[in-house]
Amino acid sequence: MDLSGQYRIPADVATVWAALNDAEVLSRCIPGCEELEKESDTEMAAKVALKIGPVKARFSGRVKLQDLNPPHSYSIVGEGKGGVAGFAKGGADVRLTQDGDETVLDYSAKAQVGGKLAQLGSRLVKSTSAKLADQFFDNFSKAVAG
């Protein structure tokens, strides 16, 4: 599954970059996030409760940041396991561009799901993911602007 999007965030690139690397900010913005721990500068562990179609589960996952080019771009790769609900793994390339007072964030993501998530919910994964991404960036914009 491929997903991409663009968001305008009312802050400069440096602020956005810092927030994107701030576990506390992220944990507030990720929908359903119950726990987010920064294990190193490039690694985080998270617990997220999600509902996709008929599948509801608590996913625990690890995220790694790669190809860091602060404050302009990085790649995220990660994998989350939701027990019998299945798993999701994938990656996203994130790019920040200053545009006046704002930052334009572009991302393109690839994801693969397995288990019940695939068997029962696959047709809903894309729309749910897009909705979750919108929620995240909505929260994120507010957090950064605030």
Residues near other proteins (CB under 8 A) are: 54, 83-84, 86-87, 112-116, 118-120, 122-123
Write down the least CB distance from residue 109 to other proteins, Å. 16
Closest CB to other proteins among residues 97, 112: 112
Helices (H), the chain: 13-20, 23-29, 116-145
HSE, CB side, 13 Å, CA atoms: give it for residue 44: 22
Write down the least CB distance from residue 30 to other proteins, Å. 23
In residues, how long is the chain?
Answer: 146
Write down the least CB distance from residue 92 to other proteins, Å. 18
Return the sign of the alpha-carbon dihedral for residues 138, 140, 144, 146. Answer: positive
Write down the least CB distance from residue 122 to other proteins, Å. 4
Residues 120 and 82: their CA atoms lie apart, in Å, by: 14
Closest CB to other proteins among residues 87, 137: 87
Closest CB to other proteins among residues 15, 60: 60
Residues 36 and 67: their CA atoms lie apart, in Å, by: 21
Closest CB to other proteins among residues 75, 122: 122
Phi/psi at 41 (nearest 5 deg)? -65, -25
